[in-house]
A and B are shown apart, each in its own frame.
Chain A
């Protein structure tokens, strides 16, 4: 148990659907992250929040929309996705953005866009 939970674990959606991914951390951390993990590719950082404020947006298409209502919860709203968006979406948290703080990952949401 890593203290970071994600729901749903699996999601199949059509290109015209709207869905949301949820992440919750029970570790009292201040920073939260969304990553995309595709097969045999490096983890791609999508968004970073620190104390509920977005600090990074790595040129992510607008069809992905993050929301961080408080330091414990993070959402990723999805709409009009493309098949190439099919991947594992991982949420992570860390104590802070400092250099030595490791990130704790949730189990991920396996997304398939049909």
Chain B
């Protein structure tokens, strides 16, 4: 079966750095997405990786290793507004998105 694993919840301190991991087992691979979802709101797109390596976008970076079935989202200089759930999703060989259950990130002052 297809599976996306990410931690259920993480806590970090304002101003610090946090890394949210995602491991996947899917039938084929056609890209990996990270989305942010604030409580009661729609998920919003953060990043897309299809080749190995690091993609940087301001305070957020996303890394992919296809051979290891692994990705992480790195958030730097954490702000209180970064408190949200972070969803990892992989597009499989049928171009269908397989979603993880999300990681709830709690930022403390």
Contact = CB atoms under 8 A, between A and B. Distances in A.
A102 B57 CA distance: 16
A4 interface: yes
Contacts, number: 45
A43 interface: yes
Contact of A97 (B33, B95, B99, B102): B95
Contact of B42 (A97, A100, A106): A106
Contact of B41 (A41, A103, A107): A107
Contacts of B66: none
Nearest to B30: A99
Interface residues of A, number: 20
Interface residues of B, number: 23
A39 to B, nearest CB: 10
A114 interface: no
A99 B100 contact: no
A53 to B, nearest CB: 15
Nearest to B97: A45
